[in-house]
Chains A and B, each alone.
Chain A
Amino acid sequence: MSIADDKEAGAGWLAIFLGLALIVLAVAVALAAAIGDYSIGVGTVFLAVTNGLGLTAADIPPIEQSVVWDLRLSRALVAALAGAGLAICGAILQALLRNALAEPFVLGVSAGASTGAVAVIVLGIGAGSVSLSMGAFAGAFAAFAMVALLSNGATSGPNHTILAGVAASQLFNALTSYIVTTSGNAQQARDVMFWLLGSFGGVRWPDFQLLVVVVFVGLAICLLMSRSLDAFTFGDEDAAALGVPVARIRLILFGVTAMITATIVSMVGTIGFVGLVVPHAARYVVGPMHLRLLPACAAVGAIFLVLADIASRVVAEQQTIPIGVVTAMVGVPFFAIILYRARPQQ
C-alpha cells in the first residue's frame, strides 16, 4: 500500500511532493554546477547562471562563467531531463506491458542504438557526415520498427510484445558484437563500451534544447492519456470494456516511449536502472494512478540522475566513471530499502 492511499486530499499531497522535489532538483543542479575538478563557489555559480540568462552582468572570471554555464549547467540539465524521460518511459511500459520488470530498453531500443552507433564509429558509415547520435537514433528506431512489426503494431498482448523486444535486442546485440569483433580495433571497442554505459561528457546546450522539447511533449501526451493507462490495470480487454481504444493508445504510447528513449540513448548512451526502479519508488510514494505517478517519476528520475552524475565525477579523482555504473551502485541500496519496506505482510 502506498503512503498516499488513505489521503482523500490526494492533489494537495502531490503538490507538496512535487514542490519539494523541484527545490531538491534546483539544489542538486546548483551542486552539479559547483562541484568538479575545478570547484566553484555557490555564489559565483548563481551569478554565472543569472549572467547566462541575461538577467545580470556580474563581473566574474570568464573561465568560471564558461565552466558553469557552457559545461556544467547544460550537462546537469540534460542529466535531469534524461532521468525524467527514462523514468516516465519505464512507468508507461510497466503499465502497458503489465510487467514490473519492464524498463525503457525492453523494446530493443538500446540494442538498436548501439548497433547504429557502432556502425558509425567502427564501420565509418556515413563517412563523417553522420554523427554518432544520428546513427544511434536510426538504429534505435530500426529496432523499434522490428518490434512493432513482430507484435502486429503492439496489439498482440504484453508477453508477445516483450518477446518481440527480446528477439530484437538479441539480434541487434549480435550485430553489434559481430561488427566490433570482426572489424573493430581494441581502442574502438573500448570507446563503444564506454558509450554504451552512458556518459554526460559531451553534452551541450543544443542537446538540452532538443531533449527539453522531446521530454515535455512526451510527458504532455502521456498525461493526456493517463486515465487510459490506469484502465490497463486489469488487462487489455478490461481496458476496452472501460471504453479505451486499446490498439490506438498502445501504439501511440509505445511510439512516444521509443521516441524519448531513442533521443536519450543517442545523446548519452544506455543508462540503465533509472527507468526500472524510479517508477517503483514513485509508486510507493504517490500510488499507482498515472496522473500523479508520471509527474512524480519525472521529478524523482531527474533528481536521481543529477545526483548520480555528481557522484560519477567525484568518486574517482581525475576519472569519470560511466554513469550507468553509478546509477546501479547508488540506486541498488536505495531500492533495497524500498523493497524491504514495501514487502507484502504475511
Chain B
Amino acid sequence: MSISAHNLVWGVRHKTIVADVSLSVAPGETLGLIGPNGSGKSSLLRLLAGLKQPLSGRVEILGQDIARVPRRTLARQVAFVQQNAATDTNVSVRDVVRLGRTPHRSALSGWSAADEAVVSAALERVDMTGHRAQAWQTLSGGERQRVHIARALAQSPQVMFLDEPTNHLDIHHQIEILRMVRDLDLTSIVALHDLNLAAMFCDRIVVLKAGAVVDCGTPDAVLTETLLRDVFRVNAEVCAGPIPCQTHIRFKAA
C-alpha cells in the first residue's frame, strides 16, 4: 500500500472532527474524498500528510510511519496542495514553483540544471509557462491554483494530496488537472465537491460524513441515490453510463 491510515482520530475540545478513519490506497491509485462542507475532508488530508498530529491512530506512507519520518524526508515524497494558499509577498510565478524544490536542496547547494528542468516541466504541465515571470499577486484564482499544483509537481512526489484543487478552475482546466492527476505516475488523494468529476477521474471514492467514513468503493458502487440523499441531502438520479466510470448524476430540484 502507498498510503494507509489506521483508526485516525482528531478533534478539538468537546468535538471530534475526524472519527476513527481507516483507509488504504494502492500505488498509482487516485482516491476521491467527498462529503458535505465541514465533514472533515481538509482535516483528514492534513492528518494524512502529517501536517497535524492525530489524537490516536497512525498513518503509513510508502511503508513508513510518518510520525517517525523527518519533515524534509517526508516532503520529498509527499506534496500537499492547500485549499487556499495566499501571500502578501511580491513573488513571481517562477519563485513560487521553485519553492517546490526546497526539500531536495541542501542549505548551500546551488540551483541546478536538473532543478530548472523539473520546474519548467511542472509549469508546462499546468499550462502556465507563459506566466512564469508574472507576479503571483496579479494571477486569477484559477491560475493561482494551477501554480500551486505546479509547485507540488516540482517536489517530484510519489504521493500527492489535493484539497479541492478544482475550485476556481474553468471546466477545461478542471478536467485537465484531474486527468493529469489521474495519469501521473503517483498515488493521490483528492478532496472534491463535484461528484460527476469524482466519478470520472477517481479509481475509488471515500465518502465522509461528520468525520466518519460512510462508504468506500468504486464510483458506480458508491454514488447511489440513497447515499446522495443520506449524506448530501439531495434528490438525484444516477445514470450508469455505457462504459465504466461514466456514472452520471443528475440533480433534481425537489
Interface residues, chain A, CB within 8 Å of chain B?
1-2, 5-6, 95, 98, 100, 224-228, 230-231, 233-235, 237-238, 240-245, 283, 287-289, 344
Contacts and interface: CB of A to CB of B under 8 A. Distances in A.
A241 B87 contact: no
Contacts of A235: 85, 87
B interface bracket (residues with beta carbon within 8 Å of A): 20 to 34
The interface centre, meaning the residue of B79, B100, B135 with most chain A CB atoms within 10 A of its CB, is: B135
Nearest to A224: B107
Contact of A227 (B85, B96, B102, B133): B102
Interface of B: 46, 49, 51, 70-76, 79-80, 82, 85-92, 95-96, 99-100, 102-103, 105, 107-108, 133, 135, 137, 155
A241 B148 CA distance: 12
Contacts of A224: 107-108
B102 A288 contact: no
B103 A243 contact: yes
24 contacts: A1-B92, A2-B90, A5-B135, A98-B87, A98-B89, A224-B108, A226-B107, A228-B102, A231-B99, A231-B102, A233-B99, A235-B85, A237-B46, A238-B82, A240-B71, A241-B79, A241-B80, A242-B102, A244-B71, A245-B71, A245-B72, A283-B90, A287-B92, A288-B90
Given A227-B105, A242-B102, A287-B95, A234 B71 contact: no
Contacts of B85: 234-235, 238
Contact of B49 (A241, A245, A344): A241
A237 B82 contact: yes
B99 A242 contact: yes
A243 B102 contact: yes
A290 to B, nearest CB: 11
Contact of A241 (B51, B86, B96): B51
A102 to B, nearest CB: 12
Contacts of A245: 70-72
Nearest to A235: B85
A289 B95 CA distance: 8
Nearest to A231: B102
Nearest to B76: A243
A344 B88 CA distance: 12
A230 B102 contact: yes
A234 B102 contact: no
A235 B100 CA distance: 14
Contact of B71 (A2, A243, A287): A243
Given A241-B51, A243-B71, A230 B90 contact: no
Nearest to A246: B71
Given A100-B88, A224-B107, A288-B89, A243 B75 contact: yes
A237 B51 contact: yes
Nearest 9 CB-CB pairings of A with B: A243-B75, A243-B103, A243-B72, A241-B80, A234-B85, A242-B102, A224-B107, A233-B87, A243-B71
A37 to B, nearest CB: 44
A302 B45 CA distance: 46
A275 B89 CA distance: 17
A182 to B, nearest CB: 43
A225 B102 contact: no
A246 to B, nearest CB: 8
Nearest to B155: A242
A234 B86 contact: yes
A6 to B, nearest CB: 5
A5 B87 CA distance: 17
A311 B160 CA distance: 57
A130 to B, nearest CB: 39
A242 B51 CA distance: 10
Given A226-B107, A230-B102, 19 more contacts: A1-B135, A5-B135, A98-B88, A227-B102, A234-B82, A234-B86, A238-B85, A242-B75, A242-B99, A242-B102, A242-B103, A243-B73, A243-B102, A244-B71, A244-B102, A245-B72, A287-B92, A287-B95, A288-B91
A289 B51 CA distance: 24
A95 B91 CA distance: 12
Nearest to B84: A234
A96 to B, nearest CB: 12
Contacts of A237: 46, 51, 82
Contact of A233 (B51, B72, B79, B96): B96
A243 B50 CA distance: 11
B127 to A, nearest CB: 21
A1 B200 CA distance: 40
B92 A240 contact: no
Contacts of B155: 242
Contacts of A227: 102, 105, 107
A344 B72 CA distance: 36
A223 to B, nearest CB: 8
A99 to B, nearest CB: 8
Given A225-B107, A240-B71, A233 B133 contact: no
B133 A6 contact: yes
